[in-house]
Amino acid sequence: MPHFGLMNEKALGPIKGPFLRARLHIRGGKRRLRQGKISAGIVTLYDALEGAMRYYSADAGRLRTLKIREGENLNDDKTLYSVLVRSEVLDGSFDYDAFDRLTERALNEEIPDYDYRELLSSIELIMTRLGVMPFDEESLPPEDPRTF
């Protein structure tokens, strides 16, 4: 993944770690898409979204504002997305289930003809809403081309 060797997520903690991973994976995912590595780009964007949601919900102040139902597991990505929508952090226009299915497909096969532009636009909107974007890519550690 794009963050290997560029950060120690555990050492950064539950807020800064997922935050930086989300940014690194947005950058890496976009690069992979541009290079025609569509499946790898989709999987990387999925991880970016997961990191962004974890970052957002790890902050105690934001966590208190979330509408969490009894028994909901915020370590489950689908549940966390639903909580963020229910709490009106996100508007729900993004089809998370479809993205999850697409990611599962991308893990199992290359999908070179997939038009990723709408997906990338939607992910960028979510990242902006969660406070991960915009950012200056120059502020990130330089990419390691060995990360695929």
Q: What is the pTM of this model?
A: 0.88
State phi, psi for 67 to the nearest 5 degrees.
-90, 85
Q: What residue segments make up the domains of the chain, in order of their start?
A: 9-133
The H helix count followed by the E strand count for the chain is 6, 0
pLDDT at 7 (0 to 100): 55
Percent of the chain scored above 70 by pLDDT? 85
Q: What is the pLDDT of residues 41-95, one digit of tens each?
A: 999 999 999 999 999 999 999 999 999 999 999 999 999 999 999 999 999 999 9
Cα separation of 74 and 19, whole Å?
A: 16
pLDDT at 13 (0 to 100): 73
- Give residue 141's pLDDT band: very low, low, confident or very high (50, 70, 90): low
Percent of the chain scored above 90 by pLDDT? 80
Q: Supply the mean pLDDT for the chain.
A: 90
Cα separation of 96 and 70, whole Å?
A: 22
99 closest CA partner among 29, 24, 17, 3: 29
pLDDT at 14 (0 to 100): 86
Spell out the long-range contacts of 128-137 with Cβ–Cβ below 8 A and sequence spacing 24 or more. Answer: 129/89, 129/90, 129/91, 130/52, 130/53, 130/55, 130/56, 130/84, 130/89, 130/90, 131/55, 131/56, 132/19, 132/22, 132/23, 132/26, 132/48, 132/52, 132/55, 133/23, 133/26, 135/23, 137/27
